[in-house]
Structure formats: C-alpha cells, structure tokens
Chains A and B, each alone.
Chain A
Amino acid sequence: MLLTVLVLLPAVAGIVLMAARVPERAAAWGWVAASSVVVAMVAWTWWGLDPDGGIQYDVKVRWIPTVDASYHVGLDGLSLPLMALTAVLFWCCAIWSLRRPERARSHAAIFLLLETTCLGTFAALDLILFFLFFDLSIVAMYFVIAGWGHGDRQRSALKFFLYTFVGSLALLLGFIGLFLGSTPRTFDIVRLTANPPWHDAPGTASLVLLALFIGLAVKTPVFPFHTWLPPAHTDAPAEGSAVLAGVLLKLGTFGFVRIAMPTLPDAWQRWATWIVVIGVVSVLWGALVALAQTDLKRMIAYTSVNHMGYVLLGLGAVGVLARENGDAADDIGSAGVAATGAVVQMVSHGLLTGALFLVAGILWSRGRSYAFSQWGGLSRVMPGFGVVLAVAAFGSLGLPGLSGFVAEFEIFAGSLAGVPVAVTVAVLGILLTAGLFLRALRHLLTGDLTVPDGVDARSIQDLTASERVSIVPLLALSVAVGLLPWLLLDVVGPAADDLVALVAR
C-alpha cells in the first residue's frame, strides 16, 4: 500500500495542480512539496527494507486475469536505490525549476507525471505494468522536450519519441515472447523468474532475448542505438536532461537486471560475450566521440553512452562468469562484485550526470550557449560554478572519494576474471573521460575571460540559491557513496548476489 501511494502520489499531485488551476508560482512550490513527500517516503522505505529479504512491500491486485497480468509492485535491493535516485533527482529538479519556467503549472504537472512513470517502472513486477510505465515515460519526456526545450526542440523531441518508441515495441515483442514461453502462461515477473520460460528451446530464448535487448539497448542507450541521445539532450531544458540522463536511461539498464537476466538466464549466459563486446564498444565510442565535442551538453550526453557501457560490461561479465563456473558458483566472488558495481554505476551516473546537466543549464541561462568557444575563464567571475563543475567532472571521471570510482572499480575488478581482454580495453575509457573533462575544465574555467556576444561579463551572476540547493545535494550524495560505499552496498550487495545466483542457474 505504501509503495502504491509512493508511486501514484506524484501523478495525483500533478492532476490536482492542473485540475485546481493552482497559480503558476504556487504550482512550482506544489511540485517541491510533492517531491519532498516522495523523498521522505523513499527514505522511510529504505529504513524498513531488509536487504536479505528479497522482494518486499509487494502488492498484487488482479487486473487482466485471463493472461495473468496483474497490478504487481514490490521493491528489493536492486530497485530501491534507483527509486531513491529518482526521488532525489526529481526533488532537485523541482528546486531548480523555482526559477519560473514558462507555464510553470503544466511544467510541474508533466514532471510529476514523469516521476510516477519512473517510480512505477522500477516498482513493477508485471511485464504489462512495466511496459505501461516505461512507455508513458517516453510520452511525458516528449512533452518536456517539445514544450520547454530550446533550439530545434520539436525535431529532437520527435526523434527521441520515434526512436525510443520503436525500441519499446521491440520490448513489447520480447515480453509477449516471455509470456508465450511460460507455463502456466503469465506476465508476472516473479513467476517468470521462478520458472524461466523457453529453458528447453534455446533458439527461441535467444530470439526473445534479442527483442528484449534491442528494446532496452535503445533506452540505455548503447552503441549503435545511441544517436537519439545527443540531440534530445542538447535541446531539452536542463531539468529535462537531468531526468532523461539520470533516471530514464536507468529504465533500460534496470530492465536488464529485473527482466532479461533473471527470466532468460541460459540465453544471457550464451550471449554474454557479445553483450560484453557491445558494452566495451559503447565505453570507448562514447568516450571518444565525447572527446571530440565542442559543446558542453553534447559532450556530457556522450559520456552517458560511455558510462552505460560499463554497466553492460559488468552485467555481461556476470553471464560469462556464470557460464564458466556453472552451477557450482558457491563463491559468488567476482561476479557479485561486477553485478554490484553495475547497479552502483546506475545510481552514481544518475547523481553525477544529473548534476552535470544542471551545471550545463547554468551556462545556458547566463548566455544561451554551451559552446566551448564562447566561454572561458569563468572561474574568475563564477567561482561557485567552477567548483560544482569541477567536482561533478572529477566524479564523472572516476576520482576516488566520489561514487563513480566505487562503481567503476567494482566493475573492472569483478569482470576481469571472466573477460580480461575486454576489461583491459575498457579501462582506457576512464583515461579518455579524464582527458575530456580536464579539457572542458580548461576551456571553460581557466584562461582569459570569454563570454558570448551580447553578454555583459561583469554582470554574470554566480550560482543562485535554487541552483546551489539543487546541485549540491547530488554531489553530496555522490561523495557519501564514494567515502562510505557500504551505505549503498548494504542494500545492493545481497540483491546483486541473488541476481548472480539467478543467472548461474
């Protein structure tokens, strides 16, 4: 019940804001209030979770009994951290948006709706429910980009919509494939996990995995399905980019750990090497292309491809290790470390890239440009901006003391036993990200003071209160995870070990 309230509360709040025609300014604060309640509820849920207890807070209500689809939601150590990330990031975006966007009321309402779709996807334990929330998130994000973006926003929004929507159709096909292979037939994820479909038909299982993979890979995104991401980010408003990169990409990676790996363990093991290859290509490709960018926001967008590649590397390595060790994996060891790292990476990327996109939004609000060539020496006039950009950048390049290091170290160390060559190549990614972020810092913060034409350099304002309050918590949480990773690992670790055991069946 608590979980249902948690999931639906933002959407209800959004509808109330719209229906009651709440004044624009009050609506912005209404969003802050609603998302604060969500944060509090997630914290309460975290407090009450038993990390070793499997799925908890679960509710199952009959919905479409003929196909055994039900309203089934629940939480475990894999989904709760992502729900917490969602709650925090939306709260930060609510604070950020106190800067009065146009049509603040519908802005708040659409974001609240988006929050419900994200929370719902993470909580869903039924494929149809998962798909419903997953697809609605695309619709809501389309309106965010098209309604509040800048530049060529209609085109970018449409591209985002079409691309991810086609991806979700593949996902639906995969879900139907899972359904058809189950006995008795069901859309229930828990039942599908307990009794994996198609375990005696490897060819069909592979095809179903392919459909799931394409659907989730578009959303994640991994090479070569990533080209919708840069324009969507470049033209989205800052808070939209933060949510898109911070939360929506995780819907894809979460699909792997919640659905693809547990329900098709044999196929995952069989194709694990290829999944690792796709992960490594994404790591290098994302980092290389990011290095070539001349626009801060496009650069950050491409680093997402890089960071999500590590997730795939870790999850693929789990499959390889499961294949090599077989059922006898009584010491989960390396595979558990890799799986944990992949989940931590999802959270870490959400925090840091969310912060980076908000920081990029500061640049836009000051001079309507993200181009490196238009800015320089900003630490002279905006020292606070320099600090938050530098901290977020160093976090993103994997500096110890921030969350990215924990995630990437675990992925590398855990995966190496299974895929040594892939890891040795993939570590180059953290060198390239170091290079690209240091380059960005040098261009933007140091050297002579440069601002876009028509901007008065002396009147540029450093961080405002809402910018500070929205960005600092994200960085603080990243530091907390970086220094005391066990805060997160206590919850993720047991669930990741369970995931490894499921894949090793």
Chain B
Amino acid sequence: MSAALLALVLLPASGGMFLLLGRHRFDRGAVPLALVLGVAGVFLAGTAAVTRASLSVPFLSSGGRAVVDGADVGLAVDGLSAVLTVTVAAVALVVSVFAAADHEARSSRARFFGYWLLFVAAMQLTVTATTFPALLVGWELMGATSYALIGFRWRAAGKTAAGTTALLTTRATDLGLYVAAGAVLAGSGSLSLDLVGLGSPWLGVASTGVVLAALGKSAQLPFSGWLSAAMQGPSPVSALLHSATMVAAGGYLLLRLHDGLAGPATVVVVWAGASTALVLGAVAVAQTDLKQLLAASTAAQMGFVVLGAGAAAAGSDAGLLGGAEHLTAHAAVKAGLFVAAGAWLSTLGTKQLAGLRGAARRTPAVGVAAVACAAVLAGIPPLSLWTTKDEVLAGVQAAGLPAGTVLHVVALTAGALSAAYAAKIVALVLAPWRGPSAQRVSAATTVAALVLAASAVALGAVALPAVRDAAADLLGVPPGQGPGVGALVLSGSLALVVGAVVLARPAVAGAFERTSLAPWLGTLALLRAVGRGALGLARAADRTDRSLDHGVMALSAGVLATARIVEIADVRGIDGAVEGAAVGTVGAARRTAVLDDRVLDGAVRRVAGTAGHLGVLARRPQTGLLHQYYAQAAVGVGVLFLVLLIVR
C-alpha cells in the first residue's frame, strides 16, 4: 500500500498549501478540512503501518534515474516507524480537535491550520524517510513550519523572536545532517539513510553530524533553551510540537540510526541524554509557569529516549525497546498536559502556577485528565512511564557502557525529579478552592484531554509480558528479560516517596524556584549570547569590508591621478606637437608660397587644413570621463594584440 504512505505525506501537505494559498477565504473551512485530514491521517498511517509500505519518488534524478543511489525521496514503514507514524497521526488528530476549540488559534484559521497540516506532513516525511534528501526535506520543513506556528500571533511582541530563536537553534544543529549526508555519500557512494558499513573517517563525521542534529531538535543540553522560548507559541502548537513531533524527531532519528553510530558518538549520546534528563528535570521543578515546567520536563523526558538510543547504539536491544516505548507514552502524556494547560489558560486566564490553585476542582473533567497524566509522568506504578523508563535503565545496564553505575544513578535521580515536578503540578491544581467556578471548558477540549489521558494510562499495558513481547516483536528485537522486579520496585517506590513528599510539603519544590535553575540555567541566555556574538562578528566584518572598499577606491584614485598627469602631458606635449606641427606646416607653407605661390599653394592649404583638423580630432577623446579613457585604452590594447597576432 505505497499509495497510503504517499497520501500520508502528500494529503496534509497539499491541504496545508491549499489553505495557505486561499488565506482568509478558507478561514471557515479550515477546521473541517484539518479534522477530515486528521482522521484520514490516522487511517493512512494505520494502513501504511500494517502493510509495511515503501516507495520511492524521483527527486534528485536525471534522465529518469537517481543521480546517485539514494538521491530520491525514499519512504518506508518498518516496525519503529510504524509505531511513530501512528503515534504522530493520532496525537495530531486529537490535538487538532483541541486547536479547533482553542481561542488562541481562533483568528486566521486558514493560516493556522495551513502551517499545522504542513508541519504534520513534514513530521510524517521525517519519520518514514529512508534517504537523506527525504529526511532533510522533512526535517527542515518541520523547523520552518514550527517557526511559523510558534510566531503565529506575530502582531504580539516577542512571538516572532521566539520563533526565530527556535528555528535558528535547530537549524544550527541541522547543519550536522548536511555534513552527515555528504559523509555518507563520500563513504558509500549512496545517499541512503544508513550509517552501517561506513569506514573511517566518514563514519565518525556522519555520526557526529547526526548526533548534533538530533540533540538540537530534541532540545538536549546545551541546546535546550530554544524550547523555553518556544512556549510563546499558542497552546495547541505546544501540545503538538513538544509531544509527538519536533522534539520527538531528534530522539527518533537516534533510535532509527542507532546501529550505525560510531563508538565515541554513542558515549556523547548517552551522556547528553542522561545529563539533560537530570538537569532539565531539576529546571522543571524550579518553574513557576506551567508551560515552562512542561517544556523543561519535555526536554528531560526526551533525555530518557536519547539515553535509550545511546544504549541501543552500544548494542542493547532493551535500549531500543525502552526508548521507543518511552517516546510513544510520553507523547500522549505531554500532549494531554499541554491541552490541560491550554484549557486553563483560556478559562482561568493564566499559566502561572500560582494562579492555577485548585484548577482541577474548577474544571473537573480536564482536572481528572491532567492529574492522570501527571501521575503517569511521575512514573507511578503501574502506569506507562514507570515501566518504559525502567526498560531504558535496563538497556543502559545491559549495554555495559563505561561508568554505567554513574549513569544508572543519574537516570534514577532524574526519574525522581519527574515525580517531584509532576507532584508540584498536582499539589497546586488539587488545592482546595472556594472561589467562583470557572467558565466551562469546551467539550472538544475536554474530550481531547480525556482521550490523551486515557491513552497515556492504557499504554501502561507494556508492563504486561505479553504486550511487551509484542512490542519487541514489532521493533524486531528479541524479547529478552526486561527490567527486573527489583529495579521496578525501586523506581516505583522512589516515585511514590518523592511524589508524596512534594505533595505533603510543596516548599521542598519551592526551594528550587529561588535558584538559577528557574531561568533554565541560562541555556536560553546562552543561545541569545551566541546570536549577539555572531552579530558583533558580522559588524566587524562589515567594517573591514568598508575598508576593503576604501582600499579599492584609493587604488582607483591613484590611477585617476596618474591619468591626470598623462592628460597634462598629452595636452602640453602630444597635442601641442600636433598643433605646433600644424602651425609649422602653415608657416612653412607660407614661406614656400613665396617661392612657389601658384603650384603648391592649394596642396599646402589642404595639408595644413588636415593637420589642424587632426589636432581638433586628437582633442575629442579627451572627454574627461574616466571610463571613456578606459574604453579607448581597452580598444587600443585589443587592436594592438590582434595586429600582433596577425603579423606575428
């Protein structure tokens, strides 16, 4: 069913372009179109996943065949991409329902859903790509459409700047993919999305490039800051971009290419993932704004996925299984929480945690969904993130990485921090409330939140051995043992204890707020400083460029001065000589005329006249216009050369 796979990308892409080209005329039809295409997307993703479709569309081809192997847009669905493509389609559909109801996206709906659909198409292309051109097209289009979505309300101050930060940070790391593509082509003569079998040094170059791109997109350290800025975007955008798509793409890319990554790159991946899980987990605990908390938590949870991919790269199947499971479960959890945050922002008018006191009591249905999602996020047994995280940890152990114990402790601590920030949310939204009840949350938003929460809870089924084996089978890895009972009990009780402490004593989490963790440890400031540095460098280059120009002008002024000297010599010397000759000739003629008045007179007059005329002509080229001198010189040089050549 390659048609389903093609439609999975082309349908939302053309729908999006249609809406964007029609602009305000299609504002009314945008929501139905987005929802219809969303439903179609789920259906198509399912079909493509079940049938394991694959296809190739001519792209960089000449005379009907690819210029090099893998230069076409190749798409395919295997076990891993089957999981992701269905997750993306499902989350996109549910969040579209929320977006249709959310007030932040109420104006310019054609523009909003136009970019939305393009974004979804780009993500599906990224997930199913089997060649570098296909991956880069999807990857970069996803970045550009995220810019448009984050900066959607461009009239408001700071929104476009936030989109710019996101796009520039991710593009900076995307450069790695361009280099990786070149290295793969150099090493294998092909542009297929596969690092396996590359020799040195191309393997190292390609691995570095891929890892850089993935860490940037997944907002891992030190690139995490852009995710904080991206929270300026409308809530539905946050719900889509920071759950199943965009940030997920980085982790996914590492999972996809894990079996080809070079050794040193693997170590970088593992530590980037673990340290992001730990540090951004702590940053999340320190936030006072719900969306900022969720964003930091997204980076931290992606850290577990990246960690799993690193373990998989080091040879552990459990790492791959755990990473993929964690990616999927987190998508549902985080989309649900962002939908709840968006619902509260519309009904209660704030996303500051202080203002959300008792929010779950004021909007009960959304409250239930949010608390359920928070419980999953905390890693409370028997919910999904509890087991998936332990699966990742089992993978780390099995991989036999250097300093494996340290990694394990870091990851466990990071898990405990998830429980802390999840409990921080729950403590506030469940706090007693006696004020007026809030305005009603729209039914669509409530349904979206509940569906996502239910999915998040249901995905806990992966703890069951039968489900786990099926997942392993889907991903094509041997089932193995999975996390041991001891590990599960340890992490589960850790989550319960930490969660209970924060619920009982919110001040424990509050202490984090007064540290430098609150401003994201300066990660956003770092990105802005790099931007300012580039601008400073640019200004210095500009000054140098002006001096270069002055140098050229001084040189030409020198030429001009020389030309003036030559001109003076020309007027006084050559021209004078010509005129003098004329005068002399006339004089001579007069003297001759005395001797032979009748015979030579006419001829001499003609000579004198001609000489005088030549004198006038000789002056004519001296127009004083420099370019005309040059033209004359050029013609002279050219003629001279030609004469030389002809008579040589």
- Which residue numbers of A lie inside 8 Å of B, CB to CB? 51-52, 66-67, 135, 142, 158-159, 161-163, 165-166, 168-169, 172, 176, 179, 185, 224, 227-228, 285, 288-293, 331, 333-334, 336-337, 340, 377, 379-380, 383, 394, 398-401, 405-406, 409-410, 412-417, 420, 423-424, 427-428, 430-432, 434-435, 438-439, 441-442, 445-447, 485-486, 489-490, 492-494
Contact = CB atoms under 8 A, between A and B. Distances in A.
B545 A285 contact: yes
A406 B186 contact: no
B561 interface: no
Interface residues of B, number: 68
B178 A409 contact: yes
B349 to A, nearest CB: 25
Given A67-B646, A400-B141, A490-B63, A415 B182 contact: yes
B168 A435 contact: yes
A333 B537 contact: no
Interface of B: 23, 58-64, 67-68, 71, 132-133, 136-137, 140-141, 144, 147, 151, 154-155, 157, 159-161, 164, 167-168, 171-172, 175, 178-179, 181-183, 185-186, 189, 191, 201, 205, 531, 534-535, 537-539, 541-542, 545, 548-549, 552-553, 556, 626-627, 630-631, 634, 637-638, 641-642, 645-646
A468 to B, nearest CB: 13
A334 B179 contact: no
Nearest to B143: A399
Contact of B63 (A172, A228, A435, A494): A494
Given A227-B552, A485-B59, A489-B60, A413 B191 contact: yes
B164 A486 contact: no
Contact of B627 (A67, A161, A227, A413): A161
B637 to A, nearest CB: 7
B638 A410 contact: no
B627 A158 contact: yes
B175 A401 contact: no
B182 A162 contact: no
B183 A485 contact: no
Contacts, number: 189
B558 to A, nearest CB: 13
Given A288-B541, A431-B168, A400 B634 contact: no
Contacts of A135: 634
Nearest to A298: B542
Contacts of A52: 63
Contacts of A439: 164
A405 B171 CA distance: 13
Contact of A409 (B181, B539, B552): B181
Given A401-B137, A427-B178, A446 B60 contact: no
Nearest to A424: B179
A316 to B, nearest CB: 15
A398 B177 CA distance: 14
A321 to B, nearest CB: 10
B561 to A, nearest CB: 14
A159 B167 CA distance: 39
Contacts of A430: 171, 175, 178
Nearest to B151: A446
A288 to B, nearest CB: 4
Contact of B154 (A169, A415, A445, A493): A445
14 contacts: A52-B63, A161-B630, A288-B542, A292-B542, A377-B155, A399-B141, A400-B137, A405-B136, A430-B178, A431-B168, A431-B175, A438-B147, A442-B160, A494-B63
Nearest to A340: B67
Contacts of B638: 172
Contacts of B545: 227, 285, 289
Contact of B62 (A427, A441, A490): A490
Contacts of A383: 23
Contacts of A51: 62-63
B181 A412 contact: yes
A486 B185 contact: no
A409 B133 contact: yes
Contacts of B161: 442
A142 B155 CA distance: 42
Contacts of A142: 627
B631 A165 contact: yes
B371 to A, nearest CB: 38
A227 B551 CA distance: 10
Given A179-B645, A400-B137, A162 B185 contact: no
Contacts of B630: 161-162, 165-166
